[in-house]
Amino acid sequence: MVSNDVSEKTPGTPLLVARLHVDLCRLASAICTRCADRRTA
């Protein structure tokens, strides 16, 4: 019941977390690709 109350107070939190997660994944992949390019170059 408590979790339901919290979700009702902040309905947009899951979306914000998902967006942050996607952004972090994109940054991590970009950094990894840059490191890989430097290693091969």
DSSP for residue 11: T
The position carrying tokens 């290693």 is 39
The reply to whether the predicted model has a pTM over 0.75 is no
Give the length of the chain. Answer: 41
- Predicted pLDDT at 13: 83
CA atoms of 40 and 36, how far apart (whole Å): 6
CA atoms of 3 and 5, how far apart (whole Å): 5
CA atoms of 18 and 27, how far apart (whole Å): 14
pLDDT 10s digits, 1-41: 445 555 556 667 888 889 999 999 999 998 888 877 777 76
Domain boundaries defined on the chain: 2-40
Tokens of 35: 């490191």
